[in-house]
Amino acid sequence: MIGKIAFQGEPGAYSHQACFEARPDLTPLPCATFEDVIAAVRNGDAVQAMLPVENSTYGRVADIHRLLPESGLHIIDEAFVRVHINLLAVPGAQVEDITDAWSHLVLLPQCGSFLRDNNIKGHVSPDNARAARDVAERGERSHAALASELAGEIYGLDVLARHIEDHDRNTTRFLVMQPEADLTRRSERMMTTFVFRVRNIPAALYKAMGGFATNGVNMTKLESYMVDGSFTATQFYADIEGHPEDRNVQLALDELDYFTSELKILGTYPADHARD
């Protein structure tokens, strides 16, 4: 039986595209929420999860940092997906026919120039793939969706204009997760992701970060966010280059551990070539 990989969204979403590109051997399983994605893997309906963690234009994906530490899953890979936005409409429609277009809230501003230049009014949809499905079901020649080409293929829509986004580097980073950790060194260039909370002592964060600088470990991401509904409980999410077995990473993590009240490694995995 072919294994499944769970993603959040409807068929044709960019997370669906990420599954095709990064895990072509697995069958994509759409889920309504990120919590449902995690649950699908934990209960055995899927063998892996594809979760977006950040976008180059809009920053981190809401809720993901909060969910990952308690998910019971481990990061085994990362995947960078170039977000190309296309104007999709029912067969036979032309760009000049379109008066209204639907897409996710964060996608609409990315096509602002195209929409203005063509006198098209943007409308918010819960999901870009949902927008494509709705346009197909309504069958209105003047309606369009801003979505992936995959969504167009799935819902039988024509691509009236390709790659209409304003920014030519819009990319989403995804994490591939599964219940079992894989700590093997599968590439010369490895990444390690962890979360931590610093001890309640003066300059704890400054001292905790010092170990990475003095040991020559490159930290590519550091973000803080509130936990437990408290303004004083702060957790940090970090990505570093290297493997926990590397001597310099060991020393840096040992120093970090001294100044933290909680430290959890979420995974170590090969760096995606798109990082270059």
Dump the DSSP string for 41-60. HHTTS-SEEEEEEEETTTEE
At 253-262, the pLDDT tens digits run: 999 998 898 9
User: In a 3-state reduction of DSSP, which class is residue 170?
Assistant: coil
Reply yes or no on whether 231 is catalytic.
no
Dmax (CA) of the chain:
66
d(CA 199, CA 43): 35
Active site residue 184: no
Query: Which of 7, 34, 114, 174 is labelled catalytic?
Result: 174
Read off the pTM: 0.89
The segment(s) of the chain belonging to CATH 3.40.190.10 are 4-82+170-178, 86-161
The owner of tokens 């294994």 is: 3
CATH architecture of 190-275: 2-Layer Sandwich (3.30)
Helix (H, G, I), strand (E, B) or coil at 181: coil
Q: How far is CA 5 from CA 133, 148, 158, 173, 241, in A?
A: 22, 19, 28, 16, 26
| CATH 3.30.70.260, the chain: domain bounds | 190-275
Distance between CA atoms of 239 and 74, rounded to whole angstroms?
14
pLDDT tens digit sequence for 226-275: 776 665 557 899 999 999 999 999 999 999 998 898 999 999 999 999 88
pLDDT digits (tens, 9 = 90+) for 141-191: 999 999 999 999 999 999 999 999 988 788 999 999 999 999 999 999 999
Burial class (CB within 10 angstroms; exposed 0-12, middle 13-18, buried 19+) of 59: exposed
| CATH number 3.40.50.1860 given to 86-161 | no
Per DSSP, what are the bridge partners of residue 191?
Answer: 241, 269
4-82+170-178 fold: D-Maltodextrin-Binding Protein; domain 2 (3.40.190)
Q: Which two tokens stand for residue 194?
A: 């962890």
Close Cβ partners of 62 (under 8 Å, ≥ 6 residues apart): none
Which residue among 7, 34, 114, 172 is the active-site one? 172
